[in-house]
Structure 1
């Protein structure tokens, strides 16, 4: 059994798939940047607001997502040298990034509805309201 998700392992990997955190980082980063422009390190610290644990967040992954978002014109960055110490990249959401953020919200809502339907049928079929785990 997968300790994290309750699924069965196959050749050392979780067969239930778990949550695809990599892709979900994008809307989380966009929403955080909509709140205010900030640095990558501060973004990583704020991801716990979405249920990410520190052990799940690889700084390299976060910075790769930020670079990809910037390449796509969804985020801008500039060097921040005002606070003393080493210069840091300051990330800011663009208008295109805000549009994508709204599209993500629609997609996430649709996915929630599908997942709720699945759980309703699952619980009815197994006559349980308890979460397995």
Structure 2
């Protein structure tokens, strides 16, 4: 999978088109992960993401809803309005077959990114060790 192009032949899959920097880049795969475990409402999905990641991934609710609308427009997610006796109508989301395929694409893309991250971590750690610096930036003990 050269240069993050998971589609081959120059075709870029949705997971690669949206793999930018910043925290927003994790909203879509986090939403897909939450939907793999259970369909749900946007705010419930945010809580699920927080719980599943021990608070490490906290998606913006607005960004989450924008991602869900885009995923629905692309056919990866289906939604329906549900009546709630204790409050206003809410939209419930679930993955479609296309959504499952997109989750697989994201998994491949994130694994490729993980390999690159591990490679760069190793290079930086090795370089810092060779320069006599510890991870925290302090000088390594001298041999003298």
Task: Tell me if 1:109 matches 2:114.
Answer: no
Deviations 1:54-88 (A, max 9, x none): xxx32211111111111111101100115442110
- The Cα shift of 1:129 comes to 6.1
Among 63, 67, 70, the alignment partner of 1:68 is 70
Task: Tell me if 1:88 matches 2:90.
Answer: yes
CA distance in 2, matches of 1:129, 1:94: 48
- The Cα shift of 1:89 comes to 0.3
CA distance in 2, matches of 1:93, 1:35: 10
Summarize the alignment of residues 1-133 of structure 1 with structure 2, pairs less than 5 Å apart: 20-48=22-50, 49-50=52-53, 51-53=56-58, 57-127=59-129, 130=135
User: Unmatched 5+ residue regions in structure 1?
Assistant: 1-18
SS of structure 1 residue aligned to 2:87: coil
TM-score by length of 1: 0.75
Distance 1:124 1:100, change over 3 A: same
SS of structure 2 residue aligned to 1:38: coil
CA distance in 2, matches of 1:74, 1:108: 18
Distance 1:35 1:129, change over 3 A: farther
Distance 1:84 1:35, change over 3 A: same
- The Cα shift of 1:20 comes to 2.3
Aligned length: 111
Once superposed, what is the RMSD of the aligned Cα atoms?
Answer: 1.8
